[in-house]
Amino acid sequence: MNEFPVGVSLGESARGGAGEGCDPVYGEPQRAITGVKDVLLVASGKGGVGKSTVTVNLACALSEQGLKVGIVDADLYGPSIARMLGTGGGLEWNREGQSLPAVAHGIPAVSVANVLPPEAALVWKGPLVAQAVVQMFHQVAWPELDLLLVDLPPGTGDVQLTLLEQIPVTGAILVSTPQRLAMADAERGIALFHDLDIPVFGLIENMHSYICPCCGEEQPLFPRQGVEALARRRHVAYLGGIPLEPGAQRLADEGVPLLKGEPDAVASRAFRTLAGTVRDAVEREARSRLRDADEETRKAHQAFWERLMD
């Protein structure tokens, strides 16, 4: 019987119910992930907008710039990261009983696809999903990482709510295409993060143009300015557009990120620019958190001395 790499059974006990050993984790306090400095959510309101492609190539671009980056494929019902990285095999375990992330192209990653047959359907209810998601962070032997990217499923369901409750998140970026339906769903995602005080570093416009394979000219696929207008309306940054490359899908099916297979492609250059912007946003947020912590410490000291003098 296959098992999830962190001990959640995929046998009959998981079908239609929580099963043995999968008590809900709701309400537990947040715990930092051992060895991981920052956690960045890569989200979308709608499926099919290229979120996983952005996650993989952004990770590669950040790695090129000197950061130690990993990926959690939290899209349990539609995992794509293992295929895109070429890590479809099983995961190994260490002596402490933790699973070791699969590593490809210098990127350690964990996905439910590492232990399930490609045709298998995951039939899990909320409590089991919640436990599995948390264990992907805390029962995996992650190496020392500057940034852990989390490829979220579309929408605002159990996975998102569990993560935001259980995992200390640095911020989020959202991926959208210029279609109205995709932008409407992305706007709902922004609202969720704002409601829960999660910093939104910005919107990425994927497939904003098309690179002609014959002449190499960049041509628009959809009406322009829609995603930029959404970013302005919701007061978040527009992080730029990623063109659709003809070879990107072929490389993804071969387990090779575009950045590795076609490093000089227009989209590869766009991912490198995006990586610099994201890195700067994460660093700014880290400095802001440090200032806030210093201010809280100062206030605590001041309150202590005021009580002492009373």
CA distance 74 to 152: 5
Amino acid identity of residue 47, one-letter, is: G
In contact, 228 and 205? CB cutoff 8 Å = yes
Q: Where are the alpha helices (DSSP H) in the chain?
A: 51-64, 81-85, 126-138, 158-166, 180-195, 226-233, 248-253, 258-261, 266-309
Q: Does 68 appear as a known binding residue?
A: no
CA distance 129 to 1: 19
Q: Does 51 appear as a known binding residue?
A: yes
Sign of CA dihedral 13, 25, 158, 6: negative
In contact, 127 and 18? CB cutoff 8 Å = yes
Q: Does 49 appear as a known binding residue?
A: yes
Q: Does 50 appear as a known binding residue?
A: yes
Amino acid identity of residue 266, one-letter, is: V
Q: Does 66 appear as a known binding residue?
A: no
CA distance 257 to 141: 24
The backbone region for 197, taken as left when phi is positive above 0, alpha when psi lies in -120 to 50, beta otherwise, is left
Q: How many CA atoms lie within 13 A of 44 on its CB side?
A: 27
Length of the chain: 310
CA distance 36 to 38: 6
CA distance 143 to 126: 29
In contact, 252 and 245? CB cutoff 8 Å = no
CA distance 214 to 211: 9
In contact, 8 and 128? CB cutoff 8 Å = yes
Q: Does 125 appear as a known binding residue?
A: no
* Binding residue ranges for ATP: 45-52
Residue ranges of the binding site: 45-52
